[in-house]
Amino acid sequence: MGEICSTCGLPKELCVCETIAKENQVIEVIVEKRKFGKHYTVVTGMDTKEIDMDQLLKKLKSKLACGGTAKDGKIELQGQHRQKVKETLLEIGFAPEAIVMR
């Protein structure tokens, strides 16, 4: 017992919450309008050495129930999800001041 992180629910050896908190990363959440009036929510600024992008994408997609891709340290989600993305990032353990909404 006491082996599970209370922030992310992962076993301590897999948990990156403390690392995230220590790093002074600035995560940008940007809503872009593209071709055919489609909106995308782009999340950038993660330190890809510290953050498992595939895991983060998976988590965001299941929370937001939308499609998305991760590449070049950038996550693109279909639709406008500013608020929910922020909520999810906070849940994972990012500090509120580390998240910038554009």
Helices and strands (H and E) in the chain: how many: 3, 5
When asked if residue 95 is in the footprint of Zn ion (CB under 5 A), the reply is no
Q: How many residues does the chain have?
A: 102
Asked if 46 and 73 touch (Cβ cutoff 8 Å), the reply is yes
When asked if residue 5 is in the footprint of Zn ion (CB under 5 A), the reply is yes
Nearer Cβ to Zn ion (7/25) = 7
Q: Cα 87 to chain center, whole Å?
A: 9
When asked if residue 21 is in the footprint of Zn ion (CB under 5 A), the reply is no
Q: Which stretch binds Zn ion (CB under 5 A): 8-16, 22-30, 42-50, 73-81?
A: 8-16
When asked if residue 98 is in the footprint of Zn ion (CB under 5 A), the reply is no
